[in-house]
C-alpha cells in the first residue's frame, strides 16, 4: 500500500494488485496492475521432495489473469526463486532447481491446455540463463518460452562475433557486492502466443543514476501491443 501511494503521488496509478505470502514469512511476491485482475490462481503451499525430504517453495507464485480490454487478456506468473545464499538444510542450487521444476509444471499446465495462450513469466530467478534452474523455467520445444532479454538503451547494435552467443549488450540486472560482480538473474519470459504482441523496441533495462538506492536489482521494462483475439 505504501508503494502504491508513493507511485500515485507521481501520477502512476495501479488500482489492482495481488499479494502472495508463501512459506517464507519475510519475503513476499506481489503484482501491481493498471488493468483489472480477472482471475486469481496464486500458489502459496507448493512443495517438493529432495534428498528424500519434503521442502516447501519459499515464496510462492503469483498466477493471475489480467484483462486489458473486453477482447484481450493474458496470464501472468511472477516468481522469486531460492537465492544463491548457502543454507544448512540443502544445497541452494538444488533447492532452486526443484522450485524451478514446480514453476515449470504451472507453465506446462497452461500451455498444454492452449499452445497459443498469452502468458508472461517474470521475476527474480536468482541464477544465470545457462543454469539448470533457469533452463528448466525457459523450457524448450513447443512449450519453450521466449527470453525478451532487456538491455540498456545505449546505442549497442552489433551482433556477437561468435554466433553461438547473444549480442554483447548490457543486460545485467543484479550487483553482488561481495564479488564485485554484475549478472542477469531477473527475467521477462513470454509464450510464443504472447510473442505476437511483443514490441522489441519497447523492451529494455531501466538505466538511471544511483539505481542502487532502492534495490540491488535494476528494473526491467517490456512493452506489448494488445491485439484482439
Q: In this predicted model, what pLDDT tens digit does every residue of 148-196 receive, in sequence order?
A: 999 999 999 899 999 999 999 999 999 999 999 999 999 999 999 999 9
Measured distance CA(120)–CA(191) in Å, rounded: 7
What is residue 36's predicted lDDT score, i.e. its pLDDT?
Answer: 98
Measured distance CA(189)–CA(204) in Å, rounded: 13
Residue 59 carries which DSSP code? Answer: S
Statement: residue 229 has pLDDT above 70: no
Q: Kindly give the pairing relationship between strand 119-124 and strand 72-80.
A: parallel
| pLDDT > 90 fraction of the chain, expressed in percent and rounded | 95
Q: Which helix (H) or strand (E) holds 73?
A: strand 72-80
Pinpoint the alpha helices (H) of the chain.
Answer: 2-9, 92-113, 132-138
Measured distance CA(31)–CA(61) in Å, rounded: 11
Determine the Cα angle at 31 with ends 66 and 2, to 5°.
135
Residue 163 carries which DSSP code? Answer: T
Q: With H, G, I as helix, E, B as strand and everything else as coil, classify residue 142.
A: helix
Statement: residue 43 has pLDDT above 90: yes
Residue 90 and residue 55 in contact, taking contact as beta carbons nearer than 8 Å: yes
What is residue 47's predicted lDDT score, i.e. its pLDDT?
Answer: 96
Q: With H, G, I as helix, E, B as strand and everything else as coil, classify residue 118.
A: coil
The confidence band for 42, taking pLDDT boundaries of 50, 70 and 90, is very high
**What does the pLDDT look like over 100-138, one tens digit per residue?**
999 999 999 999 999 999 999 999 999 999 999 999 999
Residue extents of the structural domains in the chain:
2-224
**What does the pLDDT look like over 144-157, one tens digit per residue?**
999 999 999 999 98
Residue 85 and residue 92 in contact, taking contact as beta carbons nearer than 8 Å: yes
The confidence band for 2, taking pLDDT boundaries of 50, 70 and 90, is very high
Q: Dump the DSSP string for 42-58.
A: -BSS-EEEETTEEEE-S
Statement: residue 86 has pLDDT above 80: yes
Determine the Cα angle at 153 with ends 218 and 183, to 5°.
40
pTM of the entire predicted model: 0.95
| CA nearest neighbour of 104 among 132, 66, 73, 65 | 132
Please state which architecture CATH assigns to domain 2-224.
Answer: 4-Layer Sandwich (3.60)
What is residue 228's predicted lDDT score, i.e. its pLDDT?
Answer: 60
Amino acid at each position: 500500500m505504501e508503494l502504491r501511494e508513493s507511485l500515485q503521488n507521481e501520477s502512476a496509478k495501479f488500482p489492482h494488485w495481488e499479494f502472495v505470502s508463501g512459506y517464507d514469512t519475510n519475503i513476499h511476491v506481489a503484482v501491481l496492475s493498471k488493468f483489472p485482475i480477472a482471475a486469481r490462481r496464486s500458489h502459496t503451499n507448493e512443495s517438493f521432495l529432495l534428498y528424500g525430504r519434503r521442502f516447501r517453495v519459499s515464496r510462492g507464485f503469483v498466477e493471475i489473469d489480467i484483462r486489458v480490454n473486453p477482447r484481450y487478456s493474458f496470464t501472468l506468473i511472477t516468481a522469486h526463486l531460492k537465492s544463491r545464499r548457502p543454507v544448512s538444510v540443502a544445497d541452494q542450487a538444488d533447492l532452486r532447481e526443484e522450485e524451478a521444476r514446480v514453476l515449470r509444471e504451472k507453465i506446462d499446465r497452461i500451455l498444454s491446455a492452449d499452445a497459443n495462450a498469452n502468458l508472461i513469466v517474470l521475476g527474480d530467478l536468482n541464477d544465470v540463463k545457462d543454469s539448470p534452474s533457469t533452463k528448466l523455467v525457459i523450457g524448450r520445444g513447443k512449450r519453450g518460452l521466449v527470453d525478451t532479454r532487456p538491455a540498456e538503451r545505449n546505442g549497442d547494435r552489433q551482433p556477437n562475433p561468435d554466433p553461438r552467443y547473444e549480442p554483447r549488450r548490457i543486460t545485467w540486472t543484479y550487483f553482488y557486492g561481495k564479488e564485485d560482480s554484475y549478472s542477469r538473474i531477473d527475467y521477462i519470459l513470454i509464450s510464443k502466443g504472447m510473442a505476437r504482441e511483443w514490441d522489441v523496441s519497447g523492451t529494455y533495462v531501466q538505466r538511471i543514476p544511483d539505481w542502487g538506492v532502492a534495490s540491488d536489482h535494476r528494473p526491467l521494462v517490456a512493452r506489448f501491443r494488445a491485439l484482439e483475439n
